[in-house]
Structure 1
């Protein structure tokens, strides 16, 4: 007897959509019983928008997202998931309609869990040693799809979510870290060599973005000379250290205006700008609108969740 895997995949897909619609009945981000997991529903398309993602995994069950980073397009849709190992600024667009909304699962990266599993997989004899990558888009395989479905089933019931949820999150991590680009992600999580040193500088930027950080100070954080630091920083983030610092400040200013309702002038001062005119100029260069105009657009068309508890990074997701 032959099994029609196409029909089976289609049935799984329909069931995942049903379950996510139940978890996210309205637009925006919905918190779940697990603090590191959120679900997103978007009923409208979103034109290219600058974003700064927390490290994590995005699994889209309906709709399409495209990320543009360093001259490459990263697709995450019903057939592909996105994994981000360090916070990098990029631009993102969404395909969605009220009849066919975007439905996605966001897993904020649990570094302790991911590192534990990565070490276990490496100890099991996985030989691949690829270069680490900041971001990967990878095809959903049947094993991951089945785990996602079991996870969504468990999330429908509070008791199952509380008791089975953490184990299923662990299984999701295992599927991703042992999947097609798992070795690349494991290399990134190991934070060895130049990638790890740049990771230390990124943490410093996100912790102290409002301070007058300079290139020499950031290079010292990474234990590199300034020219070496500049080269390796750009290899990881696809931008320069100073541009990354500016982007982090401007993303944080946007978050302050949208989440807390602060004025553009107050947001600029809060993230380290002494000159309101310079802040307005650089903000418009990044986002394409004035601070007030962008804050208004974000409130109308882009759902911002509360920050993940304990996250050390500025993030618009």
Structure 2
């Protein structure tokens, strides 16, 4: 097929590479305009543009597809289909109508569960046990088009936003090729979404990345893992942001109090753990109550969360063992 491909970040790279490897005629690639990055703030090609340039494919980077001249440029490519994956620009109905078979979107969730900008992170944050990729026929609404093909991806307690992102990027490439085969054979069976099952995956903000230690350990753990690539969860340590990249929920006996009369029971339980880490007094949420090479244990509003990877301002991302080498957080109130 004659394909116009629209995508900008790393998530959209595997699908473009799969299209090229499968022999589809990618006549143009659309990306967002180049933006400054790095310490030198130099204009840098995005991941998808890098692949397109290396393959000798024309690249278009309009600020919008609403102007008639931008739509005419798209029309001149005479695409059979336009594939959209994390493009970052809204396609007006006039643009959606240009390709022979319309526009297909590679969406990183099992629609209609999560619509919007951050479906991967919101699925992890909400405690979903699975997610996936939906190939969708694009419509004027926000991720409201008919579903054409789905793949399923489990979310394990060890998964974070980055690991699920990478899995879905690869699944999206495979799902896209299969969808195009069905499209060419006239065998697609579109499924209308049930709006009653939809949730909006709000855009990620740095403000929401600050951990509230009064929340339950399970909630905090999911937030840290969901945000491990961006915006990265953090807490304040000596007035500076301490970034948290990986975590788990520390198993504790049911109904074991974290302060007050039950303090000695908590300490006894922690001493019996296989980590044999240094122990501190149990206090209010946000207090570091234990540390070992396995992690930094922090009291929360309900349970204990173990931090596995940390980073101080200006420093490198470290494992808990590396972080604690010559440093102790025991008893610190974060």
* TM-score under structure 2 length normalisation: 0.27
Which of the pair is proportionally richer in strand? 2
Which of the pair is proportionally richer in helix? 1
Structure with the greater alpha carbon radius of gyration: 2
